[in-house]
Amino acid sequence: MSDYLAVGICNDGLVRELEALRKALVLEDQSMFWVSLRKFADESAFARQLTLMSWGWYFPPPQADPTDVASRVFAVMSHLVSSSDLPPSCPLCGKATEFVEASTTNFGWKYGCVRSHRRLTAAQARKFHKKCTWRCSGSVSACSGTWFEGTKSVRKVLSLLFCWVNRVPVVRAKMNVGCGEHMAVDYYSLAREVCEVIISNEVLSRPFGGPGICVEVDKCFLTRRKYHKGRRMKTGTVTLFGIYERDTKLGFHFQVKDKSSAVLISEIQRFLQPGTHIMSDAMKSYSKLYTASCTSL
C-alpha cells in the first residue's frame, strides 16, 4: 500500500485492482508496471501532454512492451474496465459476485459468484439436477461490457480509439496499429455508436429554443430517385428533419416518418420550447405554425 501512496494512489478499490494486475505479471514486467504507474498517476498532466507525438512515450511499442503492461495499467487507472465498487450479477444463478484474483485473465481479476464456496440444499440440488456438493461456477470477466471485451490486445484497442479521436482514416489507423481491417472497422463503428447514444441522451435532456431565441428547421430526403431514374431502393425515401440553434451553434437531425404537417409540427413541439423564433422555408407543412413565431427565409 505504501508503494501506491508514494505515487498518489489512495483509493482502496483501485489499489486492489492494480495489485491483482501486478501479481498476474511475470517478473520481467514488474519494472514496466511501476514506470507506467508513475506516468499515469497525474491524470491532468497526462491529458495535457498526450499528443500524436507523445503517444509512444506513454504506450511503448510491442518491441518494448510485448505484454501491453502500460495499456493495461492505463485501462485500470482510468476505470475503462469494470469497477469493483459495482460488481455485476452472476450470469448463472443471478446472485451477487465478488472480487476474485485470477492471474490467467487480462487484468488479473474477475468477479466470481458468492455461492462458489457454498453448497446447495438437497431440494436445490434436485431442482438443478446436481449433487448436494454442487457449487455455482458463474463468473464475469473484468472486460465484460467494456471496450476490451473479446479482444486479446489492450494496446491495439486503445490505439484505435486514439486514432479515431484524432480523425485518422481507418485505413491508415489499421496500418499504424498493426491490426486487421475488420478490427479497425468494428472499433471505429463502435466509437460512432457510443457517441450517437451520448448525443441522443443530451439532445433529449437539453431544451432547445425559448423566448426570443432563433432556431432553424429544415428537412431533406435521402435515396430519392431524381426524374424517376436510377435503381429503386427497397427502403424507399428516407426523410431527415434537422434543428439548429443559431446562438449556441448546436443542432441535430433525425429520421421522421414523412414530411406531412402533423409529423413535422409534432417534432417541433417536442424539441422546441414555446416562444421560439422559428425560421424555415415556405413549405406548406409549416403553414399551421403561428405566424408570430415563424418567419420564412
Is 255 among the domain residues? Answer: yes
Q: Could you report the per-residue pLDDT of 215-242, keeping only the tens digit for each? A: 999 888 876 566 666 666 556 678 888 8
Residue 209: per-residue pLDDT: 85
Mean pLDDT of the chain: 83
Q: Could you report the per-residue pLDDT of 58-88, keeping only the tens digit for each? A: 999 999 999 999 999 999 999 898 765 678 8
279: containing domain: 214-296
Q: What is the mean pLDDT of residues 149-170?
A: 92
Q: Compute φ and ψ for 57, nearest 5 degrees.
A: -75, -40
| Residue 178, Ramachandran bin (φ over 0: left; ψ between -120 and 50: alpha; else beta) | left
Is 222 among the domain residues? Answer: yes
Is 288 among the domain residues? Answer: yes
**Amino acid (1-letter code) at residue 66:** P
Percent of the chain with pLDDT strictly greater than 90: 31
Is 265 among the domain residues? Answer: yes
pLDDT at 100 > cutoff 60: yes
User: What is the distance between the alpha carbons of residues 134 and 189, in angstroms, rounded to a whole number?
Assistant: 43
3-state secondary structure 87-113: CCECCCCCCEEEEEECCCCCCCEEEEE
Q: What is the mean pLDDT of residues 156-176?
A: 94
Residue 222's SS3 state is strand
In this structure, are strands 294-296 and 277-280 parallel, antiparallel, or unpaired?
parallel
pLDDT at 163 > cutoff 50: yes
Identify the DSSP state of 30. Answer: H
Instruction: Provide CB contacts within 8 A for 289, sequence distance 6+.
Output: 265, 268, 278, 280
Residue 65: per-residue pLDDT: 92
Is 238 among the domain residues? Answer: yes
User: What is the distance between the alpha carbons of residues 277 and 215, in angstroms, rounded to a whole number?
Assistant: 6
Sign of CA pseudo-dihedral 48, 50, 54, 59: positive
Is 260 among the domain residues? Answer: yes
Residue 4: per-residue pLDDT: 80
Between these two residues, 82 and 96, which has the higher pLDDT value?
Answer: 96
Is 128 among the domain residues? Answer: no
Is residue 108 within 8 Å of residue 56, measured between CB atoms?
A: no
Residue 60: per-residue pLDDT: 92
Residue 289: per-residue pLDDT: 67
User: What is the distance between the alpha carbons of residues 242 and 264, in angstroms, rounded to a whole number?
Assistant: 10
Is residue 137 within 8 Å of residue 113, measured between CB atoms?
A: yes
Is residue 8 within 8 Å of residue 37, measured between CB atoms?
A: no
**Amino acid (1-letter code) at residue 48:** R
pLDDT at 279 > cutoff 90: no
Residue 85: per-residue pLDDT: 65
pLDDT band at residue 94 using 50, 70 and 90 as cut-offs: confident
User: What is the distance between the alpha carbons of residues 173 and 159, in angstroms, rounded to a whole number?
Assistant: 8
Q: Which of 2-6, 20-24, 45-49, 134-138 has the lowest mean pLDDT?
A: 134-138
The total number of structural domains in the chain stands at 1
pLDDT at 198 > cutoff 70: yes
Is 271 among the domain residues? Answer: yes
pLDDT at 133 > cutoff 60: no
Question: Within the chain, where are the H helices?
Answer: 2-6, 12-24, 30-39, 43-49, 55-58, 69-77, 122-127, 154-165, 170-177, 181-205, 261-271
